[in-house]
Structure 1
């Protein structure tokens, strides 16, 4: 009997101390969940280039703020002249996302910068091309032999130039290669510093509109121009939800642009500094489709092979590892 009473007293003491400790030792899981968690402000850095559309429209229409402000997340957009310049920012961890052509994106990955392509912001064959100065007597890629040709080293124009040359039976050393910033192409053509250039929109149409040069050919039949949205792998892994929400905002902008092309053109003209009439040809020829389609992935893979064969990258790039469509799928876009 005494043993029975002793066990009861012992059990009561254990319960008493357990309750006491739970009261002093902290909140229950339910109470913790009910208590608001302090939000840590976060700034997301996003790189783009003059003439890029979705991200600029999303900002100007207030959709980035609408989606992220409640969580104290701010997007800072930074404009770059070209993909290679943006690559430097990625390498220095100064941006989290960026919009570049497939060549600079693959070169970035080849240089051991841990990034992934998570979407396509634009594509098409009429948004890059070969332009020639008036009087240069250049009417096809075959006429480039011996000429001074400007392009942005490490950009999509670099690859396209080499494709043009190969199609005409020429090699890179058959021309005088001139590395230029995209912003210097027009003045270089106008001053006859170069005879021709391979460049993208809106510089392409700007040269033609100025009267300083003419379009010789676009990329139709030569190369599908795939421009990708690249994200730092560290950021993607740490903030997958932000990545998915961002893609949803860009998808919203894409749909609005297709339904309101003239209004979108006004927004981009104001942001880029180019006149609407200069932007319009490229705007009408570009294809907006965020998806990483089989065709897009195939084109990216072909670019990777081309770059390695032409010794424009040192390390092989596994495109299956580089391209990551899980965020598009989670957003219901892919």
Structure 2
């Protein structure tokens, strides 16, 4: 073989070796921890002073995510209906809502999982009747116009309150309104009563009388809660970040339990409320810390579902009977939808 040809072959072999080594060395560089993380987490919010709002106001999201180079974007929704629509369009990763909207999400195959219970609702949601409308008890609502956001916890509680009073929903005129619409309709005198939540509730109470609230209904066996959902695609790609998200929410719970007034003051600024108003709304609910989330009273564990599974199932049955959802949900579907594994993993991180 000619000498020049041998030299050319040697050069080509060396070049091939360099290219091969370069390709091999490029693989670990493309799998860095930063590239495995999302650049931003999109978080749906409702305007209530809860654990999530405390976590936002006191910088816990920054501690858990932004310090890792992950931005957090907060998007406010007036209802769970709007949040579910955002999930369908894949424009958010997390969102809180009344658990009845979680039932709707499962029934309509919105690609989400339930991972957290924010608070058990109490005095912060109530049925209020206009003063001067001669409505002193729930039975007096017969033939009256009542507004509430449909498919919400307030809607569910309203139907239960009517049923407990011996009234069917056909004996009243139910109007589907968002919270801002309820205030406007109330001021115009277009409605006689409304079942709604804070801060709308406080506005109505100024010229209205409370007939029943969600705390009273919970004592009758109708527990209602606000929940956190995560988009399935986000959870599948970043399961550890879902657990980190729950640790952030738990920081909000712990902060409130340790210093209620401080937590109320921080959220009050965010929501344009007085500290007293924020604290009053907080005290009207029961917050659920991480260690309680995975107990028999709430989410339970992957092997032993908690009481909330039963509450969710009974609510789904009720909403199906009322025509609010078309699909009849099974206990198996609900067990797959409620996923306590992220909370269990978060609890392990605390114990480590």
* TM-score computed with the length of structure 1 as normaliser: 0.85
Equivalent residue, structure 1, for 2:279: 280
Equivalent residue, structure 2, for 1:136: 133
Partners in 1 of 2:93 and 2:268 — Cα distance?
25
Q: Decide whether the 8 Å contact of 1:165 with 1:171 is kept in 2.
A: yes
Q: Secondary structure at the match of 2:43?
A: strand
Equivalent residue, structure 2, for 1:5: none
Question: How far does residue 24 in structure 1 lie from its aligned partner after superposition?
Answer: 5.8
Q: Deviations over 1:162-212 (max 9, x none)?
A: 11121122221211112221123334334322111111223223322xx21
Q: Decide whether the 8 Å contact of 1:145 with 1:170 is kept in 2.
A: yes
Equivalent residue, structure 1, for 2:3: none
Query: In the superposition, relative to structure 1, how do residues 48 and 285 fare at CA in structure 2: closer, same or farther (>3 Å)?
Result: same
What is the 5 A alignment of 1:235-314? Answer: 235-289=234-288, 290=290, 291=293, 292-293=299-300, 294-314=306-326
Question: How far does residue 107 in structure 1 lie from its aligned partner after superposition?
Answer: 0.5
Q: Secondary structure at the match of 2:34?
A: coil
Q: Decide whether the 8 Å contact of 2:124 with 2:285 is kept in 1.
A: yes
Equivalent residue, structure 2, for 1:3: none
Q: Decide whether the 8 Å contact of 1:102 with 1:226 is kept in 2.
A: yes
Q: Deviations over 1:113-146 (max 9, x none)?
A: 1111001011133332211110122222212110
Question: 39, 45, 62: which is aligned to 2:34?
Answer: 39
Q: Decide whether the 8 Å contact of 1:205 with 1:281 is kept in 2.
A: no
Question: 197, 207, 216: which is aligned to 2:211?
Answer: 216
Query: In the superposition, relative to structure 1, how do residues 91 and 35 fare at CA in structure 2: closer, same or farther (>3 Å)?
Result: closer
Which has the greater radius of gyration?
1
Structure 2: 5+ residue stretches without partners: 1-13, 294-298, 301-305
* TM-score computed with the length of structure 2 as normaliser: 0.81
Q: Secondary structure at the match of 2:65?
A: helix
Partners in 1 of 2:57 and 2:34 — Cα distance?
25
Q: Deviations over 1:198-233 (max 9, x none)?
A: 11223223322xx21121111222521111100111
| Higher mean C-alpha deviation, range 297-306 or range 270-279 | 270-279
Q: Decide whether the 8 Å contact of 2:243 with 2:346 is kept in 1.
A: yes
| Higher mean C-alpha deviation, range 105-114 or range 65-74 | 65-74
| Higher mean C-alpha deviation, range 244-253 or range 64-73 | 64-73
Question: How far does residue 70 in structure 1 lie from its aligned partner after superposition?
Answer: 4.3
